[in-house]
Each structure stands twice: as C-alpha cells, then as structure tokens.
Structure 1
Amino acid sequence: MTIAINQLSKEFDGFQALKKIDLQVRDEEFIAILGPSGCGKTTLLRLLAGFLSPSEGEIVIGNATVGNLQQTLPPERRNIGMVFQSFALWPHLNVEEHIRFPLMHHRFVSDAIKRKQHDRIKEVLQMIDLEAFADRMPNELSGGQKQRVALARAIAPQPELLLMDEPLSNLDAELRMEMRSEIQTLHQLTKATIVYVTHDQGEALAMADRIVVMNQGEIEQIGTPSQIYSKPISPFVARFVGKANLVEGDWNDNYFTPSLSPTTQWPDTGVVSEMKQRNIYPVRPEQFRMSADNQDESGLPGLINSVQFQGKEIHYTVQISNQTWTVHTDVSQQFSLGEQVYLHLFVPHNMEQKNLNHQAI
C-alpha cells in the first residue's frame, strides 16, 4: 500500500502541530517516524489513521484520497491495522478472542479468511508464538506477551497498512530488543506497509527501511538508517541521531580547521554540503580517539569530567575550552575522571588516501 502525503498541516487552537509535510511511502516499506516528544509524529500517525482531519493538504492511501480539507474517511473505512503504546487489550477477552474480533468486524477482511477463520487464528498464533496461550486472559500475560497479542490483533485481518505508535515504550530494555526482531519478522511475513512512530533512535535505525526525522512539526531529513546516521544534514539530526559533537570552525576545500585549534586540519570524511555551509564538522562520539599525550601535536587538549562504564565501551564527557564533547572508547582504553587528555579525529585509512589523491590532483 503506497501513501502520498502532500503539503499536510494540522493546527490545534492556533498551534501549528504539523507544517506542510510532504512524504511518499512505497508499497511494503517500513517507515520510522523519529523525533522528540511534541515534534508532531503522533499527530501525523493519527491523521493517517483517520482519527484527525487535516487543516491543509491531503493524504492519499493507495489510489484513494482519505483526508483533505473537505472530507476525512473514518478509521473503519481505511484498510489499516493499529498498534498502540498502551497495548489496549480488552480485559474480558482471551488471546484467541482478541484475534477473532477483527476477523469478524474489520470491513476489509477477505472472504477466504472469513470462511477459514479458525485457520487464520491458528496461523497468527503461530506467527506470534502464543499457540499455548490461546485461552489466557490479558491479566495472565507478561508485558511482551501482551504486546504480541496487540500485534496479532492488528495483523489478523491482513491490512495493507500497519500503523504503530511507540509500541515498545512500555517494555523493559531486553524485551524491546527481542520485540524489534519479532516486528521485523512480522513485516517480512505480512508484506504490509508499516509506519512506525518512535522517539528511540535505536529502534528506528535497527528496523526501518527509511527514517523520517521530525522536529517542531517539520521534517528535518528523510533517508536510510545509514544516511541519517552518517550524513546528517542539520545540527538537530546530527545531535538527535548519533549524538554528534558539532565542532565549529572553517571549511577550506576538503579540509576543516576547528576554531579551538587554528593549527589543526581535519580531512573531509563525507560531511554533507549543508553542514559545510554552516561551518560545522559533526563528529560522532566513536569518531574521536583519546590519548594521554600529544606527540604529533594534532590533538585538542581537554579535561575528562565524566566517566560512564557501559560494558563493552566507556562513555566520557570531555571539557574542551568552554565546550563539552562526548567520546566513546572501547574498554581497552581507559582514562580517569579529571585526567588531561588529547582528542584526535579518527580518519579511516582509505579516506586519508582519498584526500591525498585529491590534493595531488
């Protein structure tokens, strides 16, 4: 199911929650809408579901215009499934009854599924690995099992569009990791188009085909997880996805000079033109290397003011002049709170060679 969102805006009592959003979603694509609280991502999802009407623009799902200023199709007239943050299970229905309910009432259920309702229920129970729990009531299930039931209810009628509103936010860290894999598997099995709202960059990077990063009712960037993480086009995206340090300075051809060290030159490792125009070099925490000395005189001096052990790596905050930067190192390299260190930009060998070749030309 394709989606076309054209110049979509939504206003609440004078507050502009969405500002002329344009987005095209391909058939069977997994799209993550990523952003902080209040950025408009849930408003966008509610507009797609039909719970809200646009103030401007239009929404086209498949070949039908389902929402514009003149009319809005209600949710029951859209071939969608919805998974909520709160699970939204009915306390008086068991697991099997939760799956049967949409098969009986969803208007887009095919005749083949209606004729073989029991087979479809069995198939969905197998998908979510809850065959042994078919008779269980919601209060007899764990958090992860409840979320599987919510997913099963949504996919049972085979909707062409699946909308998910932060479905993993109420689960603990280990369950969230497990459910990421299960949602990916369900996507492959159902072939549904998925629009997935989250504030968790890890979820978006791990599962989505493309990520839409939103901020203050607008789209900041759309791209693959690799593009969003490695080539942010705005300071907001750089900070929000990957927690990049935004180093200010001057770009000159393919080299950057940090303002804090006029004698230092960093090669271009693929920084996009939008960041160069702002005279910013985004450096992710793992792109810095730290040393206790400055033998090659290329390091920026700093003072460690925070150390957080994270198992396979250590997270540091380092005071550089009047700025605080974040640095991640593996556990083989350890420094102490208050220690004087030097920060160096890590440049892959092939990138160094590329810049040398460019310089020779």
Structure 2
Amino acid sequence: MISIDGLKKNYGNFTALDNINLELLNGEFIAILGPSGCGKTTLLRLLAGFMKPTEGTITIDNELAASSNKLVPPEKRNISMVFQSFALWPHMTVEEHIRFPLKHHRFGKTKGKEEQAIKVVEALEMVGLSHLKDRYPAELSGGQKQRVALARAIVSKPSLLLMDEPLSALDAELRMEMRREIGTIHRKLGTTIIYVTHDQGEALAMADRIVVMNDGKIEQIGTPESIYNAPQSVFVSTFVGKSNLIKGEWVGENRFIPANFPSVSWQDIGISKEIKAQNLYPVRPEQWKLGEAEQNQMTGIVQFAQFQGNEIHYSIQSGEETINVYASVFEKRFLPGDTVSLKIYTGVEERVLLASSR
C-alpha cells in the first residue's frame, strides 16, 4: 500500500502541490486526472523518487520513501515508468530493450540467460511483439514503440508502475487499442498502476479510482461512476464530461427553481453542497429529455442539431444560457428554430431506459 500524507511541493514561491492526502491499495489502477499545470506530473515525480517533497511524507509498504529530510532514490524502489516520449534507445533492438531491466533493475535482475529469455518471451507475447523482436525503434510505428516501452516496464514485474501521459502521442484509434492492452496487462499482472492523464475518456475507461486535480489540490477522489454521476465541485462537473450549469435558486435543501422559470421545480438528485451554495444545478447533456413546448416547463429554441450516428447533439438557447443536449436518434427529432421543452431524467428507472435505448 502507498500512503501520501500532507504532501506539499514548492518551486520557489510557487506551490505545485498543496496538502495532498491519498492512499493506494495494492493492485489498484489509479488515474490522476487534471488539466496542464495542475500538479499531476509533479506528484508522479515525487512518487518515482526524483525529488523530495517540501512537506509531508510518502510511505510505500510501511516504509518511509520520501519526506523533506529523506529520499529513497528511484533505483532503490521497486518501480517502473512508461513515458510519453517512449524513451527508446536507437541502437538497441526490441528484444534488447526488454532484456535491459532483467540485467540492471535492482528488483528484477535475473542472472540466468535462460530465465531472462523466458521472461522476455512472456513480455513480448503480452504486448503482441514476438514477430518484431529483432527490429530497431526506427523500424517501428508509434503504437509498436509504445508497446516496447510497456513491455520493458513490466518485464521485471514491478510492484508499482508509473505512467505519464503514455498515449498522448498516438492517434485516436491506437489510443483505444492501447487502452485495452494496458487494461489486459493490469488484470494479468495485478501491479499497482498510477496513470497520469489529462484525457477524461482514458481515466473513465481504465481506472478503478480517479483522482481529479486542479491548481495543485485534489478536487475529488472516487470511482469513475461516482466522479461522473456525483461531481462534488463545479470544476469536476465541467472537466470530467460536459455539464450544463443551470442558474437558479435552491429552495431549502431539495428543490431547485431554474432562473426565468418560476413555475418549474426540480428535485435534488445528489447535488453537492458546494454546488448548491452557488445556486447551480449541473445537468449532463444526456440527462435532458426534449419534448414539444409546454406551459409550466423550461423551454428553449433549437439553434443547432447535429447527427452523430446513435445520437443527435442539440444546442438550445434558453434565456441567456446555451444548453447542450444529447438525444437518442430513436426519439422525436427537432430542427433549428423549433421551441422545445427541457425536462430532466431524474429517476433511476428513467436513466436505465434512456441508456438501453442507445
């Protein structure tokens, strides 16, 4: 288990990390998600042992790994890293790259050449590169290079695998393929993975838990489902997936009246106190149910309607707000200029029916 307690990192007068507290369980896949400059790479570098924290501690398997007074360097930690840039050596073949940690990694060092060969074959098979073992990096595609970097990182079977934006240099199709590869490898090895990304899709698809960061602080920690369905702050609701922040007024704890529609009332579906305090009601684009304009309902005028295969993406002007709506192609289609009512799927059964129709 890894425990991070009161972690702080300053660069001069700039605070890159501020009071980070986090526990990671053995075998867990954790995604550190946030925009550029939020501190996620600094956190990864501290976990790797590249530098000391200004304050706080990092404990790995009940042993102090880092504090303001102590630092266990990377070579003395049972970790591996996968970088965005692949970090491959041009003069070494695929096989030589993967064999390298077995010769030099303190925890994964394997003396016997036969045992090394077995482990290299296993790693090559795991990433599907057995047929390319004699090639050099210049002869490989981007996806193949990333597989080499991944195989090199896992061949020594580290207790912790750190991944820093590993798929950002790949095109969309390759990213999807590598997500599946990394997920499969994680299930096979059971290694703890800390995966830094700014891509919410990667985090939602791959992680057991997501740590959402902003301005050097943790905004929220939770499963992908809880992060998406129950954001605790305005930042999380808009950064992780799109969210329409409807202005209005909370009446008591459980009733919201949207601005300009005094006869409309929405119930609380788990909105956080922080968001309520700002008199906002976050609604995901897929939570809306469009219909013909009705009295005593929130209404708007369709500005744009874009066909997206299984969905229609609408932009709807309601007062001063532009609302994004994702509707199923099996529902009634509306055209620009149409006035529509905007209701919310609030019940669990309604949401299940909506999901099944898509």
| Range class of TM-score, shorter chain | over 0.9
Unaligned stretches of 5+ in structure 1?
Answer: 353-361
Shift of 1:326: 1.4
Give the 4+ runs in structure 1 shifted more than 4 A.
110-115, 349-352
What TM-score, normalized to structure 2? Answer: 0.92
What TM-score, normalized to structure 1? Answer: 0.91
Q: Which amino acid aligns with 2:329?
A: V
Q: Which moved more, 1:264-273 or 1:16-25?
A: 264-273
Match of 2:312 in 1: 314
Contact persistence 1:210–1:224 (CA under 8 A): yes
Match of 2:326 in 1: 328
For 2:296 and 2:173, locate their aligned partners in 1 and report how far apart those are by CA, in whole Å. 41
Other structure's SS at 1:23 match = strand
Cα 1:329–1:350, aligned 2, differ >3 Å: closer, same or farther? closer
Match of 2:167 in 1: 168
Shift of 1:307: 3.6
For 1:243 and 1:85, locate their aligned partners in 2 and report how far apart those are by CA, in whole Å. 26
For 2:114 and 2:311, locate their aligned partners in 1 and report how far apart those are by CA, in whole Å. 55
Shift of 1:269: 2.4
Contact persistence 1:79–1:160 (CA under 8 A): yes
Shift of 1:346: 1.9
Match of 1:356 in 2: none
Cα 1:337–1:350, aligned 2, differ >3 Å: closer, same or farther? closer
Q: Which amino acid aligns with 1:276?
A: K
Other structure's SS at 2:178 match = helix
- Is 1:300 matched with 2:298? yes
Structure 2 matches for 1:1-361, cutoff 5 A?
A: 2-109=1-108, 116-249=115-248, 250-291=250-291, 293-295=292-294, 297-332=295-330, 333-348=332-347, 350=349
Other structure's SS at 1:116 match = helix
Shift of 1:338: 4.1
Contact persistence 2:231–2:272 (CA under 8 A): yes
Cα 1:17–1:114, aligned 2, differ >3 Å: closer, same or farther? farther
CA deviation map 1:47-74 (0-9, x unaligned): 1111222111111112221111112222
Q: Which amino acid aligns with 1:231?
A: A
CA deviation map 1:79-120 (0-9, x unaligned): 101000111111111110110011111001155877610100
Q: Which moved more, 1:108-117 or 1:282-291?
A: 108-117
CA RMSD of aligned residues (A): 1.9
Shift of 1:340: 3.0
CA deviation map 1:212-256 (0-9, x unaligned): 000000000000111100001101001111211112221434332
Contact persistence 1:251–1:276 (CA under 8 A): no
Contact persistence 1:79–1:161 (CA under 8 A): yes
For 1:115 and 1:349, locate their aligned partners in 2 and report how far apart those are by CA, in whole Å. 57
Unaligned stretches of 5+ in structure 2?
Answer: 352-358
Cα 1:290–1:82, aligned 2, differ >3 Å: closer, same or farther? same
Cα 1:39–1:164, aligned 2, differ >3 Å: closer, same or farther? same
Among the aligned pairs, what percent are the same residue?
Answer: 56
CA deviation map 1:311-351 (0-9, x unaligned): 22122222221122211112334333344332221233658
Other structure's SS at 1:17 match = strand
